[in-house]
Every structure is written in C-alpha cells, then in structure tokens.
Amino acid sequence: KPQNSVLSSNSTPNTTITKEYDYNHSVCIFQTDEDGNPIQLNKEVLERILLDDRVADKRVVVISVAGAYRKGKSFLLNFFLRYLRCHAHSKTNKEVTDWLTSEQTLDGFSWRGGSERDTTGILIWSEPFIIKDRKGDDVVVLLMDTQGAFDSTSTVKECTTIFALSTMLSSVQIFNLSQNIQENDLQHLQTFASYAKYAREKEVEARSGFSPQEHYKPFQSLWFVIRDWSFPYEYEYGFQGGKKLLEKRLEISEGQHSELRQLREELKESFENTSCFLMPYPGEKVATSEYFRGHLKDIKPDFQSNVRILVEQLLDSRNLVVKSISGQPITCRMLIKYFQEYITIFRD
Ligand code: GDP
Ligand code: MG
C-alpha cells in the first residue's frame, strides 16, 4: 500500500493521545467508535496545542475540509500547510510569493491512493500558525482534516457526527466534492447542517437556560471545492465558474418542488456566506499512480495554478475568517471549551 508519510491518522487513539505533540504531525483529536458514537476527546493533546502561551489568547481561524473519502481532502490541505509554513515561518514581513515551487514535494496530512479507508475522526495539524490579519494583528490558523464521512462502511450517524462537529468547530468549512454538485450532496449537507444547528441550540440552552433567538446565522463560511471539474467550457475553473455553478444549483424557482426549495432556503439560512471553486483534474500521476509521492512536477500545471489561486484567496490576510460564536470572536483557549461542550452533546 502506498503511504507517503508516517502520521498518526492510522494509529489507535491510545498511541496518539500520549505520543504526538511536537510540531510536525497531524493529531487525531476526536474519533468515533464503529457505531458512530463519539469516543473521548483527546483533550491532553488539544490543550498542549491551544494553551501554548504564544497562541492561547489570540483569535483563531479554523479551516476544515470534509466530504467523501479518497477525494483528495488531505492532499488539498497540504497545500494550505505549505502556504502557512512559508508565511508563519518567514522572517521578513514581505509577501511570500514562492510558497509553491516545483522542486518541492508535498507532505503533511496523510494522503494516499487505494480504496481502504483510514480511521473515522477529526484531525488537526499540531502546529498552530500565527499570521497577520488585515489590520496587522496576529491570528492563529488551525487546520482540520476529517476522515470517514460518507464512507460506504460508515454508518449515517458516523458521517453526520463528523461533518456536524467539524462544521460547528470551524470558521471555514470546505465541502470537497468530486466532479459536480449533485442534489444528494446538498441533501447530505442539509442533514449535517440541521443536526449541527440542533446540537448548537442545545449547547446554548444548556449554558444559558433558554434557546437562542439570534440574528446570527449558526455557521460562518461554506466553500464548495469541486475536484476534477470537466466542463470548463460551460463554467470556467476557479471562483467565477464556481459562483455561477453554485447559483444555478441553489436557485429557488417557481414551480420547484417544495422539498427542493426548503433545502435551498435552509442552506442559505445556515451559513453566513457560501462560495464555490472549480478545480481542474490534477493529472494521471496524482489520480492513479501508486508511485506518486507528492512531487509537484508530477502535478499538472493547470491544477497548480488553480490551487495557488484557491489557497491565496482563502488565506489572504484580508479574507481570514476568525471563528466566532453568536458574534463573539473565539480565542484558542475558548475553543477548547467548545470542543468539550459540543462533544458532550453528541455523546448524549
Ligand atoms: P481523502 O481521503 O479525501 O483525504 O483523499 P486523499 O487526500 O488521501 O487522496 C486520495 C487519492 O486521491 C490520492 O491518491 C491522491 O493522489 C488523489 N487525489 C488528490 N487530489 C485529487 C484530485 O483533485 N483529483 C483526483 N482524481 N485525485 C486526487
Ligand atoms: Mg484524508
């Protein structure tokens, strides 16, 4: 089996809890058992990462990628990682333009070919990256990977838990889809979002004694990323084409079945903003070769230039979306509390 790096994603929760807390790993912070029930939160590791003096009281941006398995989620996250490493580690304040050059190979979150799945759960990158927001203030960026959602062997509950939790905990949820946005992708999304919304209301109720009547939408940004888009003549690659496709898919029209309409209205109510990006095919080597090890020269230039646009837009200081709950910006320290509370709700 090709396996490009030795990361924690395939190990059992026991080994990840005690061992990995240095800065160059993904750590599994949450897993479900075979029935989809949440297992203990990996609190020790989470605290080690988020209560570090350098980050604890800074506002946090949480970027999550979710969707079906083996569709390149972890692979995509490693481009975010590369950008963040360059920016957070750069000694000078000037813009880093060469974060993606062809001598490099991609590493980070475990990604691999083949049809076997990894464990089901949520992982975060052990390094929280400190970068500047539009005002020049520090913010912390946390990368979150999910595994197992929509897997044929996962139960519905398992998928729903992972997707809902990652939506609740992130400020940007990237919904990674292959080839197109289908009606059942939207239906899944609605299921997850309504479950997440319900869980969040329960949390607020438990904390304050009444259910929230908020003018804030429950979740922040939702980005659809469509992989292997093959109709660029219809809708062009990138944000422009994506916007047109998404508008088309989320259109509410006369004579539409009431279920379809309700689904669209609910999705619009759930997220503060949505966008969509159409990605080209990365080439045979990435898609099918068992020997592909992440060399950028093996990835089609078209994919590289588009992934550059996507990443630079997502992580541009002007666009960073700080995690906020009911309008209140969240720091790393506060995030731990929410992790705990949300997971408790899912366990009940
Ligand atoms: P995940 O399970 O969604 O995290 O998927 P991975 O990131 O582990 O990638 C699964 C396989 O898909 C790997 O062999 C990747 O090389 C390949 N892959 C990554 N991105 C793409 C893409 O955009 N299109 C295609 N066709 N394959 C991809
Ligand atoms: Mg993965």
Average pLDDT over residues 209-213: 62
Question: Among the listed ranges 14-23, 263-272, 280-289, which one has the minimum average pLDDT value?
Answer: 14-23
Average pLDDT over residues 32-40: 66
Q: What is the CA radius of gyration of the chain?
A: 19
| Interacting residues of 321 by C-beta distance below 8 A, sequence separation 6+ | 61, 171, 172, 220, 221
Ligand 2 mean position to 296 CA, how many Å? 19
Q: Which residues surround ligand 2, an ion (CB under 5 A)?
A: 73-74
CA distances from 301 to 40, 53, 143, 297 (A): 43, 41, 25, 8
Is it the case that residue 15 has pLDDT exceeding 50?
A: no
Q: Write the DSSP assignment of 80-105 as a string of letters.
A: HHHHHHHHHH-SSSS----SS-TT-B
Per-residue model confidence as pLDDT tens digits over 291-334: 677 787 788 899 999 999 999 999 988 889 999 887 889 999 99
Nearest to 267 by CA among 172, 171, 194, 346: 194
Ligand 2 mean position to 71 CA, how many Å? 8
Tokens of 122: 């949520």
| Interacting residues of 253 by C-beta distance below 8 A, sequence separation 6+ | none
Per-residue model confidence as pLDDT tens digits over 263-277: 888 888 888 899 999
Average pLDDT over residues 102-121: 64
pLDDT at 161: 79
Is it the case that residue 2 has pLDDT exceeding 50?
A: no
pLDDT at 11: 36
Q: Is 113 in the pocket of ligand 1 (CB under 6 A)?
A: yes
The residue among 154 and 61 whose pLDDT is bigger is 61
pTM above 0.90, yes or no: no
Query: For all residues of the chain together, what is the average pLDDT?
Result: 80
Q: How confident is the model at residue 35 (pLDDT cuts 50, 70, 90)?
A: low
Is it the case that residue 62 has pLDDT exceeding 90?
A: yes
71 Cα nearest atom in ligand 1: 3
Nearest CA to ligand 1 atom 1: 70
pLDDT at 113: 53
Q: Is 200 in the pocket of ligand 1 (CB under 6 A)?
A: no
Distance between CA 310 and CA 208 in Å, rounded? Answer: 39
Average pLDDT over residues 26-44: 74
308 close to 86: Cβ distance less than 8 angstroms: no
3-state SS, residue 74? helix
Question: Among the listed ranges 105-114, 169-178, 185-194, 268-277, which one has the minimum average pLDDT value?
Answer: 105-114
Question: Among the listed ranges 23-37, 110-124, 255-269, 288-302, which one has the minimum average pLDDT value?
Answer: 110-124
pLDDT at 331: 95
What residues does 130 pair with on adjacent strands?
140
114 Cα nearest atom in ligand 1: 14
Q: Is 227 in the pocket of ligand 1 (CB under 6 A)?
A: yes
Q: How confident is the model at residue 6 (pLDDT cuts 50, 70, 90)?
A: very low
Per-residue model confidence as pLDDT tens digits over 144-180: 998 765 555 555 666 777 888 898 899 999 999 999 9
Average pLDDT over residues 85-108: 71
